[in-house]
Amino acid sequence: MGKIACSIGMLNFSWFGLILSVAIIIAYLINLYHIRLHKENTDKLLELTLYCIPMGIIAARLYYVMVNWPLYADAPNEIFQIWHGGLAIHGALIGVTLTILLYSKVNKISFWRWADLVVPGLILGYAIGQWGNFINQDAFGYPTDVVWGIYIDYVYRPIGYEQFDFFHPTFLYESLWNLLIFILLFAMSWIAAKKPNKIASGSLFLLYIIFYSAGRVVTEEFRLDSEMLNGWRLAQIISAISIVLGGVLLFWRNKLTRNNGRGF
């Protein structure tokens, strides 16, 4: 399968862009249902989504470019060609989180509640978006002989691994892990809608940060293209910090709920 899905005149539509677009649409529809489940304003969701989409993509790209600057130093035009791959989930999370925080401050709404309300779509959207790596043949892992190994064309194989045909599909591992997180947290949210004040607002968002980060620590071990910092995998360092910070904030938020009786 080629990277171009279709063309109209001189305009090419890449599979990566189409998959990303589908992921965004499904994420919005899931969050629309979630917002209605918790009886919140759907107009605010539309506004927040229109802000989060560009900020999330820009932040994801900036993060990737920053940690892989040697790849772009001599080819700055590549920075804007996101259809070639190169969007970092940690960057997207930072961008989306800051956007929600700013939006909540301006509109005087609860950051924690709205972070919970939009996180299901964020999770599922990321799970779907991971399949863009399948098309681009990137973000794969070490060579493997497992039956679910993914075939990588010779041109995309890293130096030193040209003799191998099949590699770990780490994009698939992350996609499935995020799908499981989505199911778990959406079930928790549905229960919270029926029995309010049982969990603190912000719990879904923080649990996502913790669960995703735990999974990323594992999947990163399989990857060939990890960004390194003094011999350590950068994504694992950030994930470890996220687990600790998320755990502390989760404990604090739920302690407040037990003390004042106000939750999700």
pLDDT in tens, the chain (264 residues): 677 777 787 777 788 889 989 999 999 999 999 999 999 999 999 999 999 999 999 999 999 999 888 888 888 888 888 777 688 889 999 999 999 999 999 999 999 999 999 999 999 999 999 998 888 898 899 999 999 999 999 999 999 999 999 999 999 999 999 999 999 999 999 988 887 777 889 999 999 999 999 999 999 999 998 888 888 999 999 999 999 999 999 999 988 776 665 566
Whole-angstrom Cα distance, residue 128 to residue 20? 8
Q: Are 32 and 22 in contact (CB under 8 A)?
A: no
69 phi/psi in degrees, rounded to 5: -55, -35
Place of tokens 């947290």: 185
pTM comes to: 0.90
Position 262 scores a pLDDT of 57
3-state percent breakdown (helix, strand, coil) of the chain, nearest 5: 70, 10, 25
Task: Give me the pLDDT at residue 105, please.
Answer: 96
Closest CA relative to residue 23, chosen from 123, 163, 173: 123
